[in-house]
Amino acid sequence: MHHHYLLNKPHSHLSQFTNQHTTRRNKKMLGRLHDFAPGTMSIGRLDENSEGLLLLTTDGKVSAAINGKKVEKEYYAQVLGEVTPAAIEQLNAGVEIGFNGQRYQTLPCTSRLLDPRPEFSFPPRRVHHPSHGPTSWVSVTLREGKYRQVRKMCAAVGHPVIRLIRVRIGKITLGDLGAGEVIEVAELEY
């Protein structure tokens, strides 16, 4: 029998269970958040500074299916500056980013300005002070997931990311999960 989990990954945690490198000795791992079944793996990753929905499973087939390009992943990003319709159009068309030392053209995606701004039950790690300039919130929905892709895409259109939260994977949403909260589910309906 396989085990499946929904997790709201908090800021400052790595999307892994063990210290694979000695340089990461003091890093926070997912295993400290819950007593996961042996063999549990994260489906995809969120970088250490990102938050939000992370799916975990002991079933490699489910992991491979969700990581594929058929399943959408939606992110809410708080970015520096006031996002213009032109920036949204650029994101939607795909932008050029760096990946593995090469230039990469992202696939077309769906992005939009979020107005009103989203509210979350878990506070930000750092609060952006208004004296540092205005911010905007955007939704970016992808079917691919290169390393730090949403951050790189937003920076490429002139809006560096301040806070990044994954809110949806396929049909599964973050909902009201608090930071670090884990729910075990019978199956992942994506």
- Active-site residue numbers? 47
- Give the Cβ contact number of residue 151 at 10 Å: 19
Q: How far is CA 90 from CA 73, 123, 133, 146, 148, in A?
A: 19, 30, 22, 18, 18
Distance CA(47)–CA(165), nearest Å, equals 11
Closest CA relative to residue 58, chosen from 36, 35, 39: 39
Look at strands 51-57 and 161-169 and give their pairing: parallel
Q: State phi, psi for 67 to the nearest 5 degrees.
A: -70, -15
Closest CA relative to residue 141, chosen from 172, 169, 174, 119: 169
